Amino acid sequence: MISRIICERVLQKAVSTGADYAEIFAENTVDHVINMIDSRVDSVNDSVIAGAGIRVFKGLRSVMATTTDTSEAGLLRCAEKAAEALGQGTAEISITLHERLFGDIHPVRVVPSSVSNREKVNLLKEGYFAAKEYNDAIRQVTGTLLDVDHNILIATSEGIYAQDRQIRTRMMINAVAEINGETQTGGCRPGRRMGLEMFETIHPKDVGIHAARQAVTMAGAGYCPAGVMPVAIGNGFGGVIFHEACGHSLEATSVAYGRSQFAGKLGQQIANPKVTAIDDGTIANDWGSINFDDEGTPSRRNVLIENGILKSYMIDKLGSRRMGMAPTGNARRQSYSYTTTSRMTNTFIAEGNDDNDEIIRSIEYGLYAKEMGGGSVNPTTGEFNFAVNEGYIIRKGEICEPVRGASLVGKGSEVLMNIDRVGKGLECGQGMCGSSSGSIPTNVGQPLIRVSSITVGGR
């Protein structure tokens, strides 16, 4: 994208007023989206995001400027603006860049741009019509096939010059079902950091059936009763409860400023001893995986909680300066126009030793949250709420009738202590996580777990 020699000149300009660190983040991203509704292709859209962000530090001060002009002249003007905004001073560092090859642990066999729109539409139709024809109760289906080709370059005053190509593919099928005048939705949205070979193991028909089955099940369900009760949370998207209730509170974005419920608690017990939680950006071809983060730090496996003890935070460079701790490979941003912050990659509760069937049998009366929906959290207090996309009442140790309208409400520090069973069958679900550095792809996951007591919202 931009030559090493030009990057050296631009970085030297960026530190010219006394900055002690400078970086260039340049990108060229192509998104290709096919949408279906009313049994036909509604739109085929291509979008391109191209530009560069130049950021400088001086101590704990940070300034960023952006530009869509990635010529040498344009980048130098952008660097000059960042340098001027930082203040007056003189350059004290000389910059020499060395190319780094981090290696790619996410091989792509079928690059989406090499496949015709007709072939992509056929894949989407397979998932779409599997949902539409699943049951007479299905009233509407929407489908999307997304492929992203995200090319980035990172150059820093620490001598890093590195490039990466991140290809991701995702199919999203949403269905609406109506039974006795009641409508409910269901969805399935798998994605991977790979090309269209994803559909060799994730079959479009199964995606559509999952979405339609969930919609029909929930449309025929009664309302969930409210109250405090034990809850078994299913694998896969159940992991969103850790992501929201705890994950955001372990990011330097909150911890470095003391705005986290877990600030200053390294080495302390913050969860039940059965809980081990990990953020791992190195899992091959997973949705949230990266070779290196958006500051050029290699991705790695970070054990956040081990047997209930807080072991690590997720830290970017600016957070590192504030906290006096090393970066962990978690600096991420939606695009060049966002300032990088610490973010999750693939975050999950590790498998435990409890038997899944025993977990269900252990609940006299409670809720089985088979699949979680979206949620939100206040990282300072840890207070959260989540929708339950698909839930069932448990009576006398058996999963019984489906219920709709359920939500889980609580506080992260409390729910972590109340996870008293951790089973088998770790699975992950794919989503887009929003924060101050924009919307980024993240994986959430867990095996089946039991929360001994939590507030269930319903009727």
The confidence score (pLDDT) of residue 236 equals 80
The confidence score (pLDDT) of residue 258 equals 93
pLDDT at residue 378 above 90?
no
Mean pLDDT (the chain) is 95
How does DSSP classify residue 351? P
pLDDT band for 384, please (50, 70, 90 cuts): confident
The confidence score (pLDDT) of residue 323 equals 97
CA distance 62 to 65: 10
CA distance 11 to 70: 14
CA distance 289 to 283: 6
Over residues 8-36, the mean pLDDT reads 97
Whole-model pTM: value is 0.94
CA distance 121 to 181: 33
Over residues 169-187, the mean pLDDT reads 97
Q: What is the pLDDT of residues 87-106, one digit of tens each?
A: 888 878 899 999 998 888 89
Q: Which of 370-374, 381-385, 387-391, 427-431 has the weakest average pLDDT?
A: 381-385
CA distance 455 to 286: 32
pLDDT band for 143, please (50, 70, 90 cuts): very high
The confidence score (pLDDT) of residue 132 equals 98
Q: What is the pLDDT of residues 410-446, one digit of tens each?
A: 888 899 999 999 999 999 999 999 999 999 999 999 9
94 C-beta neighbours (distance < 10 Å), count: 9
The confidence score (pLDDT) of residue 163 equals 96
3-state secondary structure of 246: coil
167 within 8 A of 193, measured Cβ to Cβ: yes
Residues 6+ away with beta carbon under 8 Å from 335: 27, 29, 49, 51, 438
pLDDT at residue 374 above 80?
no
Q: What is the pLDDT of residues 48-79, one digit of tens each?
A: 999 999 999 999 999 999 999 999 999 999 99
Q: What is the pLDDT of residues 312-335, one digit of tens each?
A: 999 999 999 999 999 999 999 999
The confidence score (pLDDT) of residue 382 equals 79
The confidence score (pLDDT) of residue 82 equals 97
